[in-house]
Structure 1
Amino acid sequence: MELQPPFRKIIHVDMDAFYASVEQLDNPELRGKAVAVGGSEIRGVVSAASYEARKFGVRSAMSGVLAKRKCPHLIFVRPRYTRYQEISTKIRAIFYDYTDLVEPLSLDEAYLDVTENKKGNPSANEIAREIRHRIWEELELRASAGISINKFLAKVASDINKPNGQKTIHPEEVISFLEELPVAKFYGVGRVTATKMHNLGIFKGLDLKQKSLEELTKLFGKSGSHYYNIVRGIHNSKVKPNRIRKSIAAERTFNENISSEVFMLERLEKIADELERRMKKSDTKGKTITLKIKYSDFTQQTRSKTTQTYIQLKKEFMPIVKELLYQEKLKNSVRLLGISFSNLNTEKKLPVWIQLKFDF
């Protein structure tokens, strides 16, 4: 089956080792060295790693202890999210010079629909190259990009020539590219699902394509129809420039495990201060308060309560946090606590976007 035009022109821009690169930018002594943002050699989790650290197997979400074991000369740096946000805002300003159809996924990546763009440039590949060049010239940071007919393919493509590269998957190449793509590299297919597919004899897109919609739905539930479509190049999710935030949170990993609820309350007071600051800064209120508890054995528990009205201030939600803490006996000593708001008032604000289609 051949894909039929008209095709959209979607770019996925992904900053290279963003947090670590910002730290190396601001501190020349860190340049060319193995850097981990977050964690420490005795506790915590790595938020990001420089490419120099990745060569030794250091990855985000890895414990600091394991990261140090893999890379003994690893330098740990405290994260500075305010600085990352500042740089991210400048990067997005560059995006908006080309299109208003920008959908941020996080501080360091975004989708852009450049089917019709402000530069009148018919080449999405050239636009991506120009954007990456500007990010380097103006901010001294490297970015990679993927370009194709939909968000799924652009996301997959952006990872192919990392770091500091880009990849375009043209419409006529989509089917053959997907058929040869290992299923573990399909965006959205995690390690567990990939292992399950391998056990079923599904290693590449072509193998996945042999399964009927009914078979895939039976094997993978609702995700089955998604896999059925994407391996055929079908992914109709549009770039949504007014992406609505679903939750706001603040959490802390402690240097030493805590077993006393009194000490936990002290930590939660400080976490609540930070959460209130974030809620005010984003002019957001919420109804559902969730307490996150990660134990010393790395098991995790969440406890939630929903209020009848939207709240924002610490004096309003802290009594609920205390109630949730004492709701049941703790299973073990605690290494991390977090508080989050969901069911936000922002969810009532519907995004407005216009999607235009032109020949690729």
Structure 2
Amino acid sequence: MPNEMPLRKIIHVDMDAFYASVEELDNPDLKGKPLAVGGSEKRGVVSAANYEARKFGVRSAMSGYIAKKNCPHITFVKPRFERYKEISKKIRSIFFEYTDLVEPLSLDEAYLDVTINKKGNPSATLLATEIRQRILEETGLNASAGISINKFIAKVASDINKPNGQKTVNPEEVISFLEALDIRKFYGVGKVTAEKMYQLGIFTGNDLKTKPIEFLEEKFGKGGSYYYNVVRGIHTSEVKPHRIPKSVGAERTFNENLSSEIFMLERLERIAEELERRLKKAAIAGKTITLKIKYSDFTLNTRSKTIPYFIADKTLILETAKELLYQEELQNSVRLLGISLSNLNTDSKAIKKIDNKSILVQLKFDF
């Protein structure tokens, strides 16, 4: 096959139910019981759930009320993000012992390019096994991993043998692996897109591969070319140690629903202050302000405005957020407000990351 792309050795490491596992680590009495981090019986949103809770359909981003309905004997614990960051820092220090090409996606997952690595080990599979063992020994937590020739396949592979497992997709296995894959397991294909693909007769990678690029672009817009390429193993994105965020935001879920804009203004001011802090920490400014409103019935509304200059000041952010708040009448009482800034000034400058997102060649390539 044409040699149009270099083969890399990429590992995607994904911690197993990270937040919940940390809580179980610190409180062994929670082990073996359905557990949700965040949320409550009445309010809030689940940040993470352990595998026992997932058996009852409890998932992250689910309301605490629905989680309790699905699993009446579930235990809710408050998130402790400083603790999660502390352990995440330990895990990342392990990664950097193997390579400097580490791209964190969040506190609990990262890509590693080990094509050339500090251990001089040609086998990415053995390196992934060693890294997972190091994480277990030094933190007491389990991790899963996917290993392949690019970031897309490595991320998909890391889900295959979860929890506490790993999957290697060798170069000669890539095409058959992708063709047999359920379309729901393709990274970037969400629930809505999967349903649309089902309606078009696309259930597996092989079904997707039969569709011409013109068809996919017509049905899925810019995503069409992405789907066309990844099902053929084409994904050229490199592991980037300093990922540039596309937006920065802050939001709050309230203990009691708010029914008046007057009460919301005070909350928006606090949110704007937090957003300003994050922007200044990362030396970022932006032009597009988006107000996020989640109503008591969980419907979501966003309103945006783009201004002609970059801002990072809370006063200017709040001024625009107020304008967006009064742009149209509220549809219901409000449980969550958020403000985000996008259209950032990061195209031509290096910034600090915010903690908070191939055509194959036939050759010997030891994985």
Give the TM-score taking structure 2 as reference length.
0.89
* 2:219 aligned partner: 219
Tell me how far 1:331 sits from its aligned partner: 2.3
Quote the RMSD (CA, aligned, Å): 2.3
Q: List aligned pairs for 1:1-360, cutoff 5 A.
A: 6-350=6-350, 359-360=365-366
What are the ranges of 5 or more consecutive residues in structure 1 without an aligned counterpart?
352-356
Task: Give the deviation of 1:270 after TM superposition.
Answer: 2.7
- Distance 1:32-1:282 versus aligned 2 partners, 3 A rule: farther
Contact 1:37/1:76, CA 8 A, preserved across alignment:
yes
C-alpha deviations, 1:112-155, integer Å up to 9, x for none? Answer: 11111111100000111111111111111111000011111101
Name the SS of the counterpart of 2:46 in structure 1: coil
SS in 2 for 1:245: coil
Residues paired across the two proteins, number: 355
Instruction: State the secondary structure of the residue aligned to 1:145.
Output: strand
Q: Distance in 1 between matches of 2:196 and 2:306?
A: 37
Could you say what secondary structure the match of 1:211 adopts? coil
1:32-67 deviation per Cα after TM superposition (whole angstroms, max 9, x unaligned): 322111111112221110112112221112121111
Superimposed CA distance per residue, residues 291-338 of structure 1 (whole angstroms, 9 cap, x where no aligned partner): 211122322222334455544343443333333323332222111111
Structure 1: distance between partners of 2:196 and 2:329: 36
Summarize the Cα distance change of 1:66–1:250 in structure 2 as closer, same or farther, 3 Å threshold.
same
Letter in 2 for 1:163: P
- CA pair 222-313 structure 1, distance change in 2 beyond 3 A: closer
1:245-289 deviation per Cα after TM superposition (whole angstroms, max 9, x unaligned): 222211111222211122112222332333233334334333433
**Paired-residue identity, %:** 72
Aligned equivalents of 2:320, 2:37: Cα separation in 1 = 32
**Deviates most, 219-228 or 169-178:** 219-228
CA distance in 1, matches of 2:316, 2:80: 28
> Are the structure 2 counterparts of residues 213 and 342 from structure 1 closer, same or farther at C-alpha, using a change threshold of 3 Å?
closer
- Comparing 168-177 with 254-263, which one deviates more in the overlay? 254-263
Q: TM-score, normalised by structure 1?
A: 0.90
Mind listing any 5+ residue stretches in structure 2 that lack a counterpart?
352-360
3-state SS, counterpart of residue 249 of structure 1? strand
AA aligned opposite 2:55:
K
Report the equivalent of 1:354.
none
1:81: Cα distance to partner? 2.4
| Cα pair 2:171 2:365 within 8 Å, conserved | no
